[in-house]
Chains A and B, each alone.
Chain A
Amino acid sequence: KQEVTQIPAALSVPEGENLVLNCSFTDSAIYNLQWFRQDPGKGLTSLLLIQSSQREQTSGRLNASLDKSSGRSTLYIAASQPGDSATYLCAVRLPYGGSQGNLIFGKGTKLSVKP
């Protein structure tokens, strides 16, 4: 059974810092890994999608890496801003379904960027 863990559960940093959010998964047999952002009371916004054959993806100040063999992904946020404050969710897509579905989520890292 695939399990996804995100560490830390919460993070508070001053504005301008570069930061790293971590995601680990137990089974390396994945199609892809997706990072989402969720603001309070809102839906999930997709940030980056990394296919299993890729090592990283970049979008603006965000960079996500994937090391499938070790079951790890990191989301790097450069020059953090108060507007980056949100919960960040990592999810892995499996090549098979089941009662959990084929997208397995971590519980998220709640990020607070202080002005």
Chain B
Amino acid sequence: DGGITQSPKYLFRKEGQNVTLSCEQNLNHDAMYWYRQDPGQGLRLIYYSQIVNDFQKGDIAEGYSVSREKKESFPLTVTSAQKNPTAFYLCASSWDGRDGYTFGSGTRLTVV
């Protein structure tokens, strides 16, 4: 079945550590997105990519980095510069402007 796979489901980060969240899709979608979800704040866009080897910053890109070397994959790195990384992270993909979005099951990141 086609879909988006996010891993791991739970991730723990120590202070000063970089961690990478994985997002893989087999829907042949061109565009991929990373969102952060905090209680009471809704979904906020971190980064998005509309094509391989190209990506754009969203509203809250500071402290995060991404790469898009393959159409299927859009990993998100949470760097030590992100001061409040504890949140639920959602990856999504879409086909074109008139298509709907498909979301993964999310990764919950906690700072320990």
Least Cβ–Cβ distance between B85 and chain A, in angstroms:
17
Cα-based distance from A106 to B32 in the complex (angstroms): 20
CB neighbours of B48 from chain A (8 A): 97, 101
- Interface contact B103-A43, CB-CB below 8 Å: yes
Judge whether B2 is part of the interface by a CB distance below 8 angstroms.
Answer: no
- Grouping DSSP codes into helix (H, G, I), strand (E, B) and loop, the B interface class, with mixed when no group exceeds half, is strand
Is B101 positioned at the interface, with any CB of A under 8 Å from its CB?
yes
Report if A93 contacts B (CB, 8 A).
yes
Besides A32-B100, A105-B43, A108-B42, 7 new A-B residue pairs in contact (Cβ under 8 A), listed by A number? A43-B6, A43-B104, A46-B102, A99-B57, A100-B45, A101-B45, A107-B42
The verdict on A44 contacting B97 (CB below 8 Å), with A99-B58, A100-B58, A101-B33 known, is: no
B90 near A43: Cβ-Cβ < 8 Å? yes
Give the docked Cα–Cα distance between A99 and B59 (Å).
Answer: 5
Q: Does A113 contact B (CB under 8 A)?
A: no
Interface segment out of the listed A16-24, A34-42, A62-70, A77-85: A34-42
Q: How many residues of B contact A (CB 8 A)?
A: 27
Binding site for A on B (CB under 8 A): 6, 33, 40-43, 45, 48, 50, 56-59, 88, 90, 92, 94, 97-98, 100-106, 108
Interface residue A102 (Cβ < 8 Å from any Cβ of B): yes
From A34, A105, A106, B100 is in contact (CB under 8 Å) with: A34
Nearest Cβ in chain B — how far from A44, in angstroms? Answer: 4
Size range of the chain A interface in the assembly = 20 to 34
A49 at the B interface (CB under 8 A): yes
Q: A41's closest neighbor in chain B, by CB?
A: B108
Q: How far is the CA of A26 from the CA of B2 in the complex (A)?
A: 34
Nearest opposing residue in chain A for B43, CB measure: A105
User: Which of B40, B42, B101 has a CB less than 8 Å from the CB of A106?
Assistant: B42
Set A32, A42, A97, A107: member contacting B98, Cβ < 8 A: A32
The answer, yes or no, to whether A31 is at the interface (CB within 8 Å) is yes
The 5 closest A-B pairs by CB, nearest first: A44-B103, A49-B100, A43-B105, A101-B45, A107-B42
